[in-house]
Amino acid sequence: MNDTNVSSEILGRLADEWDTLTPEAQKAARYVLENPQDVGVSTVREIAEAARVKPNTFVRMARQVGFEGYEDFRAPFREAIRRGTVSFPDRARWLQDIRKSGELGGLYADVVGAAIRNVEETFAAISAEDLRIAAEAIWNSRQVYTLGVGVNNSNARNFTYLASTSMKDFHAIPRPGSVAVDDLAWADERDILIAMTCRPYRREVVEAVSTAREQGMTVVGISDSPASPIVLAAHHRFVVASDSPQFFPSSVSTIALLETLLSFVVAIASDEIVERVEKFHRRRHQLGIYQEDPE
């Protein structure tokens, strides 16, 4: 087993055997799948208490996926801790191992490596202060419009959906059957536009940013170059790395940036936002939207 990713094979076994496990064993397996870092440092009694099952449930679960017992199951996790490879795997060796794994191993390694580099390069060029200032502008605005077309349409809508769990007046544009400039018709200096596009730049996004500026709106521009037309026109500028071995640009950095920006908005917002989030999710549980874990 590869020490740099010691738990992957075991976790894979748990997932493969999921349907054959008893409900109690599934509770134990779920805890391991969600908290693999606890396995190497917990006795069977400690981890059973955390998972709210009996210790022998973990023993049976371990045997069902091919181990003699919990100690045998825990041994690879403990070895990974001893080697210091649990939390931060040796990236270079890990990617090399992937590359050797078969015909598609090279592609897998290239895609994973590009995703990691993109996130690192993006955040290396962005300061917490940049994010704080943009977040304050978003929080203090009357309405927030998030614009993305093509692949960025889903990114814009995801950002708007997440924001809507605690805040009002967030709008993903263009709306169905509309165009972005029409969606901004009644926006003014009290409002903010978060726009995103990468090469080749989409004309409707560039035009919407220009319209927003003419109407006095504040603009947050997210693109793949400091020379991008929407970055040059923006008040708050964020450049994301989007390199990929595939023919399409990567969205990993854009998604990571949007999630971070929204986290900053929540962090600087008024205290009531925590209550809003709790109320939103409490309502969802009451409506039966979520699949509840078995007792």
Q: Each residue of 5-52: pLDDT tens digit?
A: 545 678 778 888 888 888 899 999 888 887 887 888 888 999 999 999
107: confidence class by pLDDT, cuts 50, 70, 90:
confident
pLDDT attached to residue 246: 74
Q: Does residue 48 lie within any of the structural domains? A: yes
201: confidence class by pLDDT, cuts 50, 70, 90:
very high
Q: Is 138's pLDDT higher than 70?
A: yes
Q: Does residue 116 lie within any of the structural domains? A: yes
**Residue 187 belongs to domain with CATH number:** 3.40.50.10490
Q: Does residue 290 lie within any of the structural domains? A: no
Whether 17 and 79 share a structural domain: yes
Whether 171 and 56 share a structural domain: no
155: confidence class by pLDDT, cuts 50, 70, 90:
very high
Greater confidence, 99 or 148? 148
**Residue 50 belongs to domain with CATH number:** 1.10.10.10
* Structural domain count, the chain: 3
pLDDT attached to residue 292: 73
How many angstroms separate the CA atoms of 203 and 6, rounded?
48
60: confidence class by pLDDT, cuts 50, 70, 90:
very high
Q: Is 159's pLDDT higher than 80?
A: yes
Whether 186 and 261 share a structural domain: yes
Beta bridge partners of 172: 146
Whether 215 and 137 share a structural domain: yes
CA–centroid distance for 165 within its chain: 16
When mean pLDDT is compared across 40-44, 104-108, 161-165, the lowest value belongs to 104-108
> Positive or negative, the Cα torsion across 71, 77, 80, 81?
negative
Whether 130 and 112 share a structural domain: no
- For residues 78 and 213, the answer to whether their CB atoms sit within 8 Å is no
Q: Does residue 295 lie within any of the structural domains? A: no
φ and ψ of 236, to 5 deg: -120, 120
Q: Does residue 189 lie within any of the structural domains? A: yes
> In this structure, how many other beta carbons lie within 10 angstroms of the beta carbon of residue 171?
19
Q: Is 129's pLDDT higher than 90?
A: yes
Greater confidence, 39 or 56? 56
Domain that holds residue 266: 126-285
Q: Does residue 204 lie within any of the structural domains? A: yes
In the listed set 121, 143, 175, which residue is the last one of a domain according to the structure? 121
pLDDT attached to residue 61: 92
Q: Is 26 left (phi over 0), alpha (psi -120 to 50) or beta?
A: alpha
Q: Does residue 294 lie within any of the structural domains? A: no
Q: Is 4's pLDDT higher than 50?
A: no
Q: Does residue 291 lie within any of the structural domains? A: no
Whether 51 and 182 share a structural domain: no
Whether 133 and 265 share a structural domain: yes
Q: 244-247 — which CB contacts under 8 Å span 24+ positions?
A: 244/111, 244/114, 245/107, 245/110, 245/111, 245/114, 246/111
Whether 32 and 150 share a structural domain: no
When mean pLDDT is compared across 82-86, 227-231, 283-287, the lowest value belongs to 82-86
Whether 60 and 195 share a structural domain: no
- For residues 164 and 138, the answer to whether their CB atoms sit within 8 Å is no
pTM value surpassing 0.75: no
91: confidence class by pLDDT, cuts 50, 70, 90:
low
Q: Is 180's pLDDT higher than 60?
A: yes
Whether 27 and 140 share a structural domain: no
Whether 186 and 279 share a structural domain: yes
How many angstroms separate the CA atoms of 241 and 43, rounded?
43
Q: pLDDT exceeding 70 applies to what percent of the chain? A: 88
Beta bridge partners of 220: 194, 236
Whether 99 and 241 share a structural domain: no
φ and ψ of 120, to 5 deg: -60, -45
